[in-house]
Amino acid sequence: MSLLGLLDLSVLDSTVRFATPLLLACLAGLFSERAGIFDIGLEGKMLFAAFFSAAVAALTGSVWLGLLAGIAASMLLSALHGLASITFQGNQLISGVAINFLAAGLTVLIAQDWFQQGGRTPSLVGAGRFEGLTLPYAETLRDLPVFGPIYHDLISGHSILVYVAFAAVPATWWILYRTRFGLRLRAVGENPAAVDTAGISVVRLRFAAVAICGLLCGLAGAYLATGQQAGFVKDMTAGRGFIALAALIFAKWRPWHALSATLLFGYLQAVALRPDLIESAFGFKVQVQLLDALPYILTVVILAGFVGKAIPPRAGGEPYVKER
């Protein structure tokens, strides 16, 4: 039995790739829910962004135009969610569910109309997708003991959106905890009436949070279709938006904890593809379905209070009605 096999560089490399869309979506939900807007439509926004980024990249041959299209598509759905939840003070959960169904249906319908390939886009090649970046001195240092293989095989070689995702974690922490905007954003999720009394627009702050959520979901979807894979296929998000929500609860709505949670869930996904490693490490076979279910099981454990309580923002999920 060898536990070191579970820390194989190929598994850890897959962990980073699987964790990237989860991390971006988790941070997206973090901004939205910290402002008091619950968003279970992360899945739909990611799917919408994945389709339009792949479609535009396939039509134009430019992955950057595809990225912009994916972000725009995701932000359009975010605006729709904001309109329903903030302007019309509708039920936030129902709005998120509607967005998920809308994205699942529209992407296949438009893909079939545009490309006639059974609801998928043509495969992306060349400038139509994000290629891995070789970091400076990766080739030179690869023969160094320990550090060389880690730098060459694990840190280097990812697409630019992977590095953007990991850079977004300290950026999110700084915005939320070191800026006036972040203080107001957190306050509006806890006590919107107090924020309103101070003369600050609750509606404007919540729309800003929803817009940031759309931006990050757009990056996540674009990465799935143009970085991790080479095109769009039906329902390609495969529940990642819901796993990101589970990670957000697991992380207790904190940026650095979100990084740890998404890396853990990404690792479970990576290990699920290599059941032979588990069998060789522990001497018995583990069902892949159990590994797929573990993120949700861990979230239930957290919610049950076995590992500390996960307390959401106090004003989360409730529309703010200004007192006359």
Residues 98-154 have pLDDT tens digits of 999 999 999 999 999 999 988 899 999 889 999 999 888 888 888 888 888 888 889
Is residue 278 over pLDDT 80?
no
pLDDT at 292: 77
Domains and CATH numbers, the chain: 3-127+149-303 (1.10.3470)
Angle at 155 between CA 152 and CA 156, to 5 degrees: 55
8 Å CB contact between 27 and 169: yes
Answer positive or negative: Cα dihedral of 139, 142, 143, 147: positive
Is residue 29 over pLDDT 50?
yes
169-198: average pLDDT: 95
| Amino acid of residue 291 | L
Structure token digits, residue 173 = 């922490």
Encode 152-178 in three state secondary structure.
HHHHCCCCHHHHHHHHHHHHHHHHHHH
115, HSE (Cβ side, Cα atoms, 13 Å): 23
1 pLDDT band, cuts 50/70/90, is very low
pLDDT at 32: 96
8 Å CB contact between 317 and 36: yes
Quick one: which of 84, 113, 118, 97 has its CA closest to 44? 97
34-40: average pLDDT: 94
39 pLDDT band, cuts 50/70/90, is very high
% of the chain at pLDDT higher than 70: 96
pTM: 0.94
8 Å CB contact between 246 and 25: no
Helix, strand, coil shares, percent, the chain, to 5:
70, 0, 30
CA distance 45 to 104: 10
8 Å CB contact between 16 and 158: yes
pLDDT at 306: 61
136-150, 232-246, 266-280: which has the highest mean pLDDT? Answer: 232-246
Structure token digits, residue 194 = 């107090």
Q: Which residue has the higher pLDDT, 138 or 237?
A: 237
Name the DSSP letter for residue 262.
Answer: H
For residue 179, CA distances in Å to 172, 234, 295 come to 10, 40, 32
1-10, 42-51, 247-256: which has the highest mean pLDDT? Answer: 42-51
Q: Which residue has the higher pLDDT, 161 or 279?
A: 161
Beta bridge partners of 11: none
